[in-house]
């Protein structure tokens, strides 16, 4: 079994960026002679970046694996995506505004819920034609992970456990 975890340094950068923006908004609220619009924008900044700060702190103290790979399935805990190895049609990596995204083209499966199917159709309308897994906060090389998923999809089930043990430390 391979477990991929978030990089805590990347999450800390996100937390400190949110914290600094909350302080800037709070400083604007405390300053004298500001218009009502600027005051409302500052309150919105405290609220918006404060929620982002709370979410960032949650991600910092959450030590569970984000992606779990076994000889039977691939599971992304953040997006609740689980698929068996025979369901992958294609797998590729693309970069979207500085973020690494793993795109998985899966077979149509009747077990997927109506919400999943709705968002899959919405993704198609927006130009993304597959299931996407964000890899930006993980300690993993996206190209190696993509090649590994393609390999796991092609090989027979009896050899998958040996392949996982072989690649366990090579995905970083």
Let me know if 133 is exposed, middle or buried by CB neighbors in 10 A (0-12, 13-18, 19+): buried
Average pLDDT (18-45) is: 92
Average pLDDT (80-99) is: 83
**pLDDT one-digit tens code per residue, 111-166:** 566 776 777 777 777 666 667 888 888 888 888 888 888 888 888 888 888 888 88
**pLDDT one-digit tens code per residue, 39-65:** 999 999 999 999 989 988 988 898 888
C-alpha–C-alpha distance, residues 168 and 142, integer Å = 14
Per-residue pLDDT at 69: 87
Q: Do 94 and 103 contact (CB within 8 A), yes or no?
A: yes
Contacts of 163 (CB under 8 A, 6+ apart): 151, 152, 155
C-alpha–C-alpha distance, residues 75 and 24, integer Å = 39
Average pLDDT score over the chain:
84
Per-residue pLDDT at 106: 78
Q: Do 89 and 149 contact (CB within 8 A), yes or no?
A: no
Alpha carbon of 86 to those of 36, 71, 154: distances in Å?
A: 58, 11, 8
């Amino acid at each position: 079994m391979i477990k991929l975890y978030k990089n805590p340094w990347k999450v800390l950068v996100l937390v400190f960026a949110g914290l600094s923006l909350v302080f800037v908004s709070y400083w604007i609220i405390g300053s004298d002679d500001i218009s009502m619009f600027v005051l409302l924008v500052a309150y919105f900044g405290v609220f918006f970046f404060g929620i982002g700060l709370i979410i960032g702190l949650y991600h910092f103290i959450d030590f569970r694996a984000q992606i779990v790979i076994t000889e039977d399935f691939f599971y992304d805990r953040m997006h609740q995506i689980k698929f068996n190895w025979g369901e992958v049609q294609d797998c590729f990596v693309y970069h979207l505004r500085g973020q690494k995204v793993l795109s998985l083209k899966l077979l149509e499966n009747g077990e997927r819920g109506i919400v999943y199917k709705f968002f899959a159709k919405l993704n198609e309308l927006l130009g993304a034609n597959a299931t996407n897994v964000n890899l930006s906060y993980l300690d993993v090389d996206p190209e190696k992970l993509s090649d590994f998923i393609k390999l796991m999809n092609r090989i027979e089930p009896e050899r998958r456990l040996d392949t996982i043990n072989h690649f366990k430390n090579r995905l970083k």
